[in-house]
Homo-oligomer: A and B are copies of this chain.
Amino acid sequence: MSADSPSTDVPLPDFLSSSTSILLGKANDLFDEILEAAVEPFGLRSKDFIVLTAIDSIGPQSQQQLARTHGIDRTTMVSVVDGLERLGLVQRARNPDDRRKYAIGLTSEGQALLRHKLGPAMLNALDTFLAPFTHDEREIFNKFLWRLVHERGQAPDQGTGQGRVVPGGTVR
């Protein structure tokens, strides 16, 4: 094994176990697990919940709009909507203004499930995930995440001004 390594002053990258990069991945994996476990009893995936919530909030939309908003491919959205329709949670109606498009809307069952079952289940999942935090800390953490995602491209404060402009992603 090696080691002619000049053992220079170059610091060894300490990304293991306590590094932000590793921790972020673990936190994300952990939340994914909690999230999927929360919706699995309803025969859904977390992606289904997001789509249902988007329709409930914004109203009936085309499949492409749903796809673009959430960074999902339109061909993938077909099967997502297929599944939700098979479960009777959404329905495909034609958009009278443009008959190429659907207007994907919630059924009454879909809306009821979302508001009475799925919503609480997801809130509970988030609460489980954020259990180590106090209420105030949860708000701070949320603000941190928001800045991490949205404060891109401008000059922050320190560090290399190497901020990169992240493509895509505009969410209101």
Contact A162–B131 (Cβ < 8 Å): yes
Contact residues of A between 80 and 139, Cβ < 8 Å to B: 91, 93, 105-112, 114-116, 118-119, 122-124, 126-135, 137-138
Flag whether A2 is at the interface (Cβ < 8 A). yes
Contact B34–A28 (Cβ < 8 Å): no
Number of copies: 2
A153 to chain B, nearest CB (A): 9
Provide 7 A-B residue pairs closer than 8 Å at the C-beta atoms, listed in order of the A residue: A12-B56, A16-B50, A17-B172, A20-B129, A21-B129, A23-B149, A133-B144
Please name all residues of chain B whose beta carbon is closer than 8 Å to the beta carbon of A170 when the two chains form the complex. 14, 18-19
Flag whether A145 is at the interface (Cβ < 8 A). yes
Contact B138–A20 (Cβ < 8 Å): yes
Please name all residues of chain B whose beta carbon is closer than 8 Å to the beta carbon of A140 when the two chains form the complex. 140, 144
Tell me the complex Cα distance, A45–B118, Å: 36
Contact residues of A between 142 and 172, Cβ < 8 Å to B: 142, 144-149, 151-152, 156-164, 166-167, 169-172
Please name all residues of chain B whose beta carbon is closer than 8 Å to the beta carbon of A29 when the two chains form the complex. 71
Please name all residues of chain B whose beta carbon is closer than 8 Å to the beta carbon of A128 when the two chains form the complex. 159-160, 162-164
Please name all residues of chain B whose beta carbon is closer than 8 Å to the beta carbon of A130 when the two chains form the complex. 20, 148, 159
Q: Report which A residues bind B (CB closer than 8 A).
A: 1-6, 8, 10-31, 33-35, 49-50, 53-54, 56-57, 60, 71, 91, 93, 105-112, 114-116, 118-119, 122-124, 126-135, 137-138, 140-142, 144-149, 151-152, 156-164, 166-167, 169-172
- With A149-B23, A149-B30 as known contacts, state yes or no: A3 contacts B132, CB within 8 Å: no
